Structure 1
Amino acid sequence: MSCRHRLSGFTLLAGLPLALIWSAPAIAQTIDTAHPAQGPSDTPAAAPTTNPEALEEIVVTGVRASLKSAEAIKRDAPEIVDSIVAEDIGKLPDRNVAEALQRVAGIQIQRNYGEGSSVAIRGLTQVRTELNGRDIFTAGGVDQLNLEDVPAELLAGIDVYKNPSAEQIEGQLSGVINFRTRKPFDFDGFKFAGGVTGNYYDLADKTGPSGSVLVSDRWNTGIGEIGVLADVAYQKDYFRDDQITTEPFYTLNQSRNADGSFVNPSDAATAAALGRSGQVTTIPHGGGLNKNYGNRQRFGTDVALQWRPSDTLDVTGEVLRNNYKFNIRGNAFFATTGDGAITPHPGADFKFASNGDFISGTWDDVPVGSYASQTTRESTTTDYSLKAHWTPTPNLEVTADGQYVRSDTSQSNFIVLTNGPNTTFQQNVSGDVASFSTIPASNTTNASLYSNNGFLDDFSKSYGSEKSGRLDVKYSFDNSVLKSLRAGFRYTDRNNSTRDTGYRYSSINGRGELVPYDLSDIFRGDANVFGSVITFPLENLSNYANTLSSFGINGAPAYLPSGTNAQSQQTYAEYGAAYFDASPWSIPLDGNIGVRVVKTNVSVSGYYQQVPQVAQPDGSTATGDPEYAAIAFKDSYTKFLPSLNLRYHLTDNLQLRMAASTNLATPTFSQLNPSLTLTEPGPSQHAEIHTATGGNPLLKPMTSRNLDASLEWYFSDHEYVSVAGFYKKINGYIQTAITPRDITFPDGKTYTYQVTSYTNAADAEVKGAEFSFQQFFDFLPDPFDGLGIQANFTYVDSQAPSPATSGPVTNVPLEMLSKYSYNLIGIYEKGPVSLRLAYNWRSKFVETTSGVGTGNLPIFDQPYGQLDGSLTYQVNQNFSLGVDARNINNALKLSYFGISTRPRTATISDRRFSFTARVTY
């Protein structure tokens, strides 16, 4: 049969379902309008339609074997999938989960203090995380698992689903990330594997250990076959993060009133002093730096029990517990006038860009100061699951699955504020890294000019839990185009609550020690900033009780009702899907079509709080007791999520996939948090910009209609090339926005607050393409026949309205989305040697669509690329040694306010070098 006839058959089968799915949101909207009490769903994606147990049975013993296993998953899955498979037990290709995911086409990651922390798939951050096809999350309102929390050694592999089928749980716009752990029946019998690693971090100049142990066995008993597995992993990582900042830019207001007077005489005077009267002029109000030290500690355990009492029944119980501790201490030093005017130094040389943006110059009477801070976070997530798979007849399968997840997170924040003198401040922002100094230099090194004036402390606790259950039924047909019918039901009940003391400010009246702090090594000694500064010693902050005592403060801040908020969400989901294979009709086409119906009930509660100023007997004012009122909101909605997945076999090794679907993502719990606290400004703060941050309980869910296509050529069992295209039409996309609100306090005074919150912005579109290539060059002569390459490139184009409706930026891409990204990975595997060198790059992206103090301009991160490498030597069948390096190129992370002539931050992080010994029996 010719390709032309084959494609005709494809078109006949695909056209009508594609049209129905594309129009489904309109149909769903009609139904929602008719039944406003009904509503969509909230969560995960069901286990992949490809049998996960079967996939996990693939034995991987090296780079080629792991790539072969990942390719098999990609090739045979009913949906568009990319996978990462552990080379050996306890070892993903990268030691951090997020950093492993960045190697997948279409995925871009965010880094937190030098380490991968979160991901976006095809430009969207609304990603669903799963553990073995079930929900997994970190308490605190994010609705996802914090990828920093997971020891990579616990995982057997990661699957990334880029288009859903009806069986997959809802709760994403961009894709599903499913983390797979190992089970005792994955192995033929007894299995032991262990490894230990020493990691050196060059900027922090510290070494941290990590290690893992897995033990598994299975036995035939009088009640059937039983298997038990225990897996334990521990990591302790250190980091240091150096950052140099330029304070937000402000454009001088030289406009005039109707009578000819200046609207802002101060700005007009500044422009005249700069010799720029009548010219557009934008200047920063200072600069500063941060030098942070910290560590991360992960301890994960996974215990799995499998029981096979008969050939028709399997039961699996699993408990996974993960504990994550994060600690960071840092010093910041700054010279800034904040929101107040800044004065040019008479006679100083100033330079400006052609658009009027400041490049270099000298300012007078700029206050200097510092702060010392410490933040700690501890999260513990425990997942209990029980699954039974029953095959009463060769054609009927029934799967029952239950789960309970509990996650707890606690955090503390301490800050000591130190004031210094007003000084003359020199500043130059012309290079990648800003430079600045004071005149005289002793203004930053003379301790007698400084005093501690304030201490802030804050504590928060978050708790999250979920109970869920699902039942799935599959009936298979023999010798039929219709291969199987599948149906199922799922119920979840999820709750989240947060208690926060809020930041308590205590005046410490110059109490506390002050010490000089050397900055000569900042940016590895390559930065031209203050050589030394005065600050509160970091080591003193680690003992909270002693800190309170030294400052004369009694006890920790109290948890008030106003610092409490809670969210709950129940979902009821059911689906039906038909799987078909048209090969009996001589049409090499297979796929599935189905629909998922989800009803969601959401309730949120919190407090609206005002903190007034109270008149004192002497005529002054002081902060009074907070006044608060409880608030609560409820919502309910129902959504229909149809999906179609088609695969056309052009040849035995060449296949074309096409898919259409509707996705749903609900607002996160933190975005729905209705609580808002507004503190009335004191007399000295009346002229400042007043800000506040809160959620929006009126947010609606986001939906997307998706079209996907992928052409895949598998020219061997571990080599392929693929090209994919995608298009998403998103309704009600949620963005950050700043809106002015006039707030009246009990004393009758009204102030305008710039409130940062969330809004369902106008509709957005995301479209793009991916290219992936994987090959080993076996045809080369020895020893070059061990060479191989992995490469992928992603193009994502998106645009949404910017919250800024005027100024130099009015439209921006979606947050955290780079238009271009690529991975280039060189591999060498020959005999006992395995070498891997990986470079990951992404173009600029929007960090936030509207930054406070930027004139509502978005904040952009500049293009970023990082080089990592690893080398493993297999000493014998059971023992191997390895070394790896991260951030070999000492990458520099840069950001700017709206346009590139307004630099914001320059940041560097550690290079990590590791040595690993691993044993397997």
Structure 2
Amino acid sequence: MTSNLGSRGTAGARFLLTCSMAALFVGATAGQAQTGTAGPVNAQSSSGGATAPSGDQGQADTSQQPGDASAAIVVTGVRASLQSAQSIKRNSPQIVDSIVAEDIGKLPDRNVAEALQRISGIQIQRQYGEGSSVAIRGLTQVRTELNGRDIFTANGANQLSLEDVPSELLAGIDVYKNPSSDLIEDQLSGTINFRTRKPFDFSGFKASASVNNSYYDLVDKSKPSFSGLLSDRWETGIGEIGILADIAYQKTAFREDTISTQPFYTLDPTVPADAATLASLNRTGQTTTLPHGTGIGQHYGDRRRFGTDVAIQWRPSPTLEFTGEVFRNDYKFRFDDYSWFAYSGDAAIQPLPGAAFTYADNGDFQSGTFANVPVNSNTSLSVRHSITTDYSLNAKWKPTDRLTITADGQYVRATTTNTRSIVILNSTAGTLTQDIRSAIPVIGIGPAGAIDNPNNYTLGGYLDDINRSVGSDKAGRVDAEYKFDGGFLSSVKAGFRFADRSNSTKDTGYRYTGLSGPLGQYERVDLTDFFRGDADLFNGIIAFPRSTIVDYDATRAALGIDTLPSYLPSGRNDERQKTYAGYVAAFFKADRLPVPIDGNIGVRIVKTELAVNGFYQQTEQVTQADGTSTNGATTFSPIGDSRSYTKVLPSLNLRGHLTDKLQLRFAASANLARPTFDQLNPSLTLTEPGTSQLNQIHTASGGNPYLKPMTSKNLDLSLEWYFSRTGSLTAAAFYKHISNYIQTAVTNRAVTFPDGQTFNYEVTSYNNVASGKVKGVEVAYQQFFDFLPGLLRGLGVQSNFTYVDSKAPSPQTSGPVTNVPLENLSKYSYNVVGIYELGKISARAAYNWRSKYVQTTAGNGTGSLPIFNKAFGQLDASLTYNVTPHFSLTVDGRNLLNTRLTTYFGLDTRPRDVTIDDRRISGIARITF
């Protein structure tokens, strides 16, 4: 309920308080908290670029029939969240799933990607223990939006990095799984729209705050987080005005332990050296494949997220409303690590004479001992700092009851800076014993005590690289909707949108500085607690100190390097994309048919203008007097391309109301996804290997400026039964036929540098395959068991299952693996979430599982074999005690089962990595009034 400015003077003063008052709010007593009615009822999602109210606690069920007394019931907590999300799904003109925060700053998962995994059809990728990206129905070509507008991280991926955003800033997330003509194009799998709150979402003054402390068990550290929101609205002489400010700050820590097996190579009996190895192993005439070494990695790091959102709304009259918003996300990521590898690169590895070896039935190595294996002990640092700022202004004018005109403008600026620093120490393992037959590989190094003796190591080399990306986007659109009274045609919508997006990246390229002589700074790294003590390997190694590597300037000073790597003109690449889109859509309903139907039909026409520029460059090595090498002269030549294309994208959405609670949907559409800027980046930088890198596998990566856009033809069918306010059972089937699908490919190139030296490089890039197909089924069910007696009536469940099958040509046409699914696609996945909410107690336990999937269709050092991730599941849980209606305490846990992630090279007899991450336990105090 709003009131005039004079009576709300104290509320206006309260707004001037900054969000740093969060701690004071938490300290407030229950007696000081206000009591009152819940917030406004609105279960709409955003569409077509216009901002829309958020889902908040106090949602009433908008899906009830008129006259149903239950429609007046106001619910809170998890029930409100499920009810609001269900209402969005039920009433949307498209096939959509939603997650709604049950309270301010309270999405079900603190990480946005991990919250999304609870939706059927969505699978997530994890990086260092946290969800980082998603695939919808098996495809990663996902569009990300903020309140229906563009949002992205300046890394060339054309979408927002989901790990960057603190979830406390969001009111909800909508996932559109099939396109309609009024939705912005540039996705194959779906659109993820993040919704923030607006001051007109609330009836008056609103304040909320939370503080959090999280403990990460593997790294043995605790990190704080906090969030705060203040909002108010009041009447003035120029109309109603509302102002909202929201901030969220998170710090997290992690440690990740990995045991790696190096790529496998099949011995060639026509090569004399390989024939001799086969003879020494008594394997002449038998297929034999050997790994070229092994290693471990211990990664430490932290993340810092700082998000702010300020929104101002002005309603000068009942027919006109303006919304201005500034959303800023500031993300810092750092990891430093020890990576110790005994491996021969692409050079032959020598079996220890007389040692026992075992093999799988296909001839793949399973256990054995090798002699005199080169060792690299690397200590490294990686830092990323990304800032995305979104400025938007929306105007909605309703000159008549039938006509609504919306205008929207946006400017986005995003920057990302990356720094990479690696110190290399060299040694030799007299003997290397490997046994990969168990879930955790066994590693033995001889002679005893050799690898933790600093006298057995020498300085090898130093690599550093700095790059910076800047992206910007200017977009504007105008939409109009005219509604009709009665008849078959309900309304007509039409609109036009223009966007001008650009990205520029400058990169120093890796600078190699040769080092030699005995160690200066070093440390002994104790590995007795590695892999929680479950690994059977050596007790320690020698490495450059972590305490130094975490400071980039201190590392260079310790190595006597007083200069920074320099940006060359050839280290820059630029991409610019202009899009012009117009659409028209007709919305209709026929409610007098035996089965009432409604829906929409439309077409979107999009023109794209694209220009990319970059360089092909080579940097040779110069040998110093002491025998080491360092970067020498760089030669380069420009590469670029520009073109334009126009696509016509029709869409149809139909919904049949079989009963008041049962509805059937059908959708047919066409869509396109443009290549991302990093895929189009024409630049390729090759630095000649330094002296300490000669035995390594030499790799490089670059884009392909000639990639075509992907297009898809989509069919969707959905049957939805809504049997209560928070109960539903839905099933969906989908089919996508994709043309010009973009796939990762690895090619071998013999590269000759200006000094005449030739090296073999495995170059990762992209190409358009002929076509791909994706089909599948989703089933979702949720319900609270209110009919149960006593305390059991608080029980509820959310569950879903997804089957996705895909088919596309593999980059490899011969060898042991020639057919693979699309990247990052599990054929099977499911979620089961147990819920309990009764009285002051609210609890959730969520188990997420997915079957094996392909990380990349062709990995470096694999002989172009795909890299698979084995099936795995993860358990998360939370428990909340609502001390008062305004104050709650929560404890939650992530990765409670200590899930191991395991990858392999194409065949499960060729393991690659086994990885574990932290378990996290968090305590949260939250107050809202």
- Going from structure 1 to structure 2, the CA distance change for 1:523 and 1:742 (only over 3 Å counts) comes to closer
Separation in structure 2 between the aligned mates of residue 617 and residue 295 of structure 1, nearest angstrom: 41
Structure 2 equivalent of residue 529 of structure 1: 537
Unaligned runs of 5+ in 2: 1-44, 60-75
- Is 1:701 aligned with 2:709? yes
User: Is the 1:50–1:78 contact (alpha carbons within 8 Å) kept by the matching residues of 2?
Assistant: no
* Matched letter for residue 294 of structure 1: G
Separation in structure 1 between the aligned mates of residue 218 and residue 207 of structure 2, nearest angstrom: 36
Unaligned runs of 5+ in 1: 1-45, 255-262
Instruction: Give a deviation string over 1:205-225, Cα, whole Å, max 9, x none.
Output: 000001100000000000000
Instruction: Give a deviation string over 1:701-733, Cα, whole Å, max 9, x none.
Output: 000000000000000111000010000000000
- Going from structure 1 to structure 2, the CA distance change for 1:621 and 1:718 (only over 3 Å counts) comes to closer
Q: 1:624 aligns with which of 619, 632, 647?
A: 632
Q: 2:479 aligns with which of 472, 475, 497?
A: 472
* Matched letter for residue 467 of structure 1: K
Number of matched residues?
868
1:745 deviation in Å?
4.5
Structure 2 equivalent of residue 3 of structure 1: none
Q: 1:384 aligns with which of 391, 394, 402?
A: 391
Greater alpha carbon shift after TM alignment, 404-413 vs 751-760: 751-760
Q: 2:564 aligns with which of 556, 580, 603?
A: 556
Structure 1 equivalent of residue 741 of structure 2: 733
1:750 deviation in Å?
6.1
- Is 1:447 aligned with 2:462? no
Q: 1:113 aligns with which of 128, 138, 144?
A: 128
- Is 1:156 aligned with 2:171? yes
1:542 deviation in Å?
2.5
Q: 2:113 aligns with which of 98, 103, 108?
A: 98
User: Is the 1:880–1:919 contact (alpha carbons within 8 Å) kept by the matching residues of 2?
Assistant: yes
- Going from structure 1 to structure 2, the CA distance change for 1:622 and 1:165 (only over 3 Å counts) comes to closer
1:512 deviation in Å?
2.9
Instruction: Give a deviation string over 1:308-339, Cα, whole Å, max 9, x none.
Output: 00000010000011100111111011111111
Separation in structure 2 between the aligned mates of residue 293 and residue 208 of structure 1, nearest angstrom: 14
User: Is the 2:55–2:81 contact (alpha carbons within 8 Å) kept by the matching residues of 1?
Assistant: no
1:57 deviation in Å?
6.7
User: Is the 1:47–1:134 contact (alpha carbons within 8 Å) kept by the matching residues of 2?
Assistant: no
1:682 deviation in Å?
7.5
Separation in structure 2 between the aligned mates of residue 371 and residue 72 of structure 1, nearest angstrom: 54
- Is 1:657 aligned with 2:669? no
User: Is the 2:411–2:473 contact (alpha carbons within 8 Å) kept by the matching residues of 1?
Assistant: yes
Structure 1 equivalent of residue 202 of structure 2: 187
Separation in structure 2 between the aligned mates of residue 409 and residue 417 of structure 1, nearest angstrom: 27
State the SS of the aligned residue for 1:392. coil
- Is 1:436 aligned with 2:443? yes
Q: Which runs of structure 2 are paired with 1:34-183 in the superposition (5 Å)?
A: 47-48=46-47, 53=52, 56=55, 59-60=58-59, 61-183=76-198
Q: 1:313 aligns with which of 317, 320, 335?
A: 320
User: Which structure carries more relative contact order (alpha carbon 8 Å, separation 6+)?
Assistant: 1
1:454 deviation in Å?
1.0
User: Is the 2:429–2:445 contact (alpha carbons within 8 Å) kept by the matching residues of 1?
Assistant: no
User: Is the 2:436–2:911 contact (alpha carbons within 8 Å) kept by the matching residues of 1?
Assistant: yes
User: Is the 1:164–1:661 contact (alpha carbons within 8 Å) kept by the matching residues of 2?
Assistant: yes
* Matched letter for residue 849 of structure 1: T
1:588 deviation in Å?
0.2
1:496 deviation in Å?
0.3
User: Is the 1:481–1:584 contact (alpha carbons within 8 Å) kept by the matching residues of 2?
Assistant: no
Instruction: Give a deviation string over 1:717-774, Cα, whole Å, max 9, x none.
Output: 1100001000000000000111234545546676654321100012000000000000
1:545 deviation in Å?
2.5
Separation in structure 2 between the aligned mates of residue 121 and residue 379 of structure 1, nearest angstrom: 25
Structure 2 equivalent of residue 36 of structure 1: none
- Going from structure 1 to structure 2, the CA distance change for 1:51 and 1:582 (only over 3 Å counts) comes to farther
Structure 2 equivalent of residue 408 of structure 1: 415
Separation in structure 1 between the aligned mates of residue 428 and residue 842 of structure 2, nearest angstrom: 58
- Is 1:495 aligned with 2:502? yes
State the SS of the aligned residue for 2:537. coil
State the SS of the aligned residue for 1:144. coil
Separation in structure 2 between the aligned mates of residue 466 and residue 56 of structure 1, nearest angstrom: 28
- Is 1:809 aligned with 2:824? no
- Is 1:592 aligned with 2:600? yes
Q: Which runs of structure 2 are paired with 1:556-575 in the superposition (5 Å)?
A: 556-575=564-583
Structure 1 equivalent of residue 21 of structure 2: none
Q: Which runs of structure 2 are paired with 1:631-642 in the superposition (5 Å)?
A: 631-642=639-650
Instruction: Give a deviation string over 1:430-489, Cα, whole Å, max 9, x none.
Output: 111111111222111111111222111111111000000000000000012100000000
Structure 2 equivalent of residue 26 of structure 1: none
Separation in structure 2 between the aligned mates of residue 903 and residue 822 of structure 1, nearest angstrom: 25
- Is 1:362 aligned with 2:369? yes
State the SS of the aligned residue for 1:172. coil
Separation in structure 2 between the aligned mates of residue 47 and residue 181 of structure 1, nearest angstrom: 10
Q: 2:291 aligns with which of 284, 288, 294?
A: 284
Instruction: Give a deviation string over 1:269-304, Cα, whole Å, max 9, x none.
Output: 111111111100111011000001100000011000
Separation in structure 1 between the aligned mates of residue 626 and residue 237 of structure 2, nearest angstrom: 87
* Matched letter for residue 582 of structure 1: A
Structure 2 equivalent of residue 877 of structure 1: 885
- Is 1:716 aligned with 2:724? yes
Structure 2 equivalent of residue 583 of structure 1: 591
- Is 1:341 aligned with 2:348? yes
Structure 1 equivalent of residue 899 of structure 2: 891
Separation in structure 2 between the aligned mates of residue 544 and residue 71 of structure 1, nearest angstrom: 50
Separation in structure 2 between the aligned mates of residue 341 and residue 563 of structure 1, nearest angstrom: 35
Q: 2:849 aligns with which of 830, 841, 858?
A: 841
- Going from structure 1 to structure 2, the CA distance change for 1:50 and 1:505 (only over 3 Å counts) comes to closer
Structure 1 equivalent of residue 22 of structure 2: none
- Going from structure 1 to structure 2, the CA distance change for 1:108 and 1:884 (only over 3 Å counts) comes to same
Structure 2 equivalent of residue 43 of structure 1: none
User: Is the 1:593–1:645 contact (alpha carbons within 8 Å) kept by the matching residues of 2?
Assistant: yes
1:47 deviation in Å?
4.7
Separation in structure 1 between the aligned mates of residue 333 and residue 630 of structure 2, nearest angstrom: 36
Greater alpha carbon shift after TM alignment, 52-61 vs 639-648: 52-61
* Matched letter for residue 286 of structure 1: G
Separation in structure 2 between the aligned mates of residue 331 and residue 659 of structure 1, nearest angstrom: 51
Instruction: Give a deviation string over 1:558-616, Cα, whole Å, max 9, x none.
Output: 01112110100000000000000011455500000000000000100111112246799
State the SS of the aligned residue for 1:479. coil
User: Is the 1:480–1:584 contact (alpha carbons within 8 Å) kept by the matching residues of 2?
Assistant: no
Tell me the TM-score normalized by structure 2: 0.91
User: Is the 1:55–1:73 contact (alpha carbons within 8 Å) kept by the matching residues of 2?
Assistant: no
User: Is the 1:49–1:77 contact (alpha carbons within 8 Å) kept by the matching residues of 2?
Assistant: no
* Matched letter for residue 108 of structure 2: P
1:515 deviation in Å?
1.3
* Matched letter for residue 815 of structure 2: G
- Going from structure 1 to structure 2, the CA distance change for 1:619 and 1:355 (only over 3 Å counts) comes to closer
1:144 deviation in Å?
0.4
State the SS of the aligned residue for 1:165. coil
- Going from structure 1 to structure 2, the CA distance change for 1:742 and 1:331 (only over 3 Å counts) comes to closer
Separation in structure 1 between the aligned mates of residue 329 and residue 750 of structure 2, nearest angstrom: 45
User: Is the 1:313–1:388 contact (alpha carbons within 8 Å) kept by the matching residues of 2?
Assistant: yes
- Going from structure 1 to structure 2, the CA distance change for 1:362 and 1:232 (only over 3 Å counts) comes to same
- Going from structure 1 to structure 2, the CA distance change for 1:577 and 1:419 (only over 3 Å counts) comes to same
- Going from structure 1 to structure 2, the CA distance change for 1:449 and 1:776 (only over 3 Å counts) comes to same
Separation in structure 2 between the aligned mates of residue 618 and residue 417 of structure 1, nearest angstrom: 17
Separation in structure 1 between the aligned mates of residue 197 and residue 687 of structure 2, nearest angstrom: 52
User: Is the 1:237–1:296 contact (alpha carbons within 8 Å) kept by the matching residues of 2?
Assistant: yes
User: Is the 1:728–1:765 contact (alpha carbons within 8 Å) kept by the matching residues of 2?
Assistant: yes
- Going from structure 1 to structure 2, the CA distance change for 1:246 and 1:747 (only over 3 Å counts) comes to closer
1:618 deviation in Å?
12
- Is 1:269 aligned with 2:276? yes
Greater alpha carbon shift after TM alignment, 301-310 vs 580-589: 580-589
Root mean square deviation of aligned Cα = 1.9
Q: Which runs of structure 2 are paired with 1:8-27 in the superposition (5 Å)?
A: none
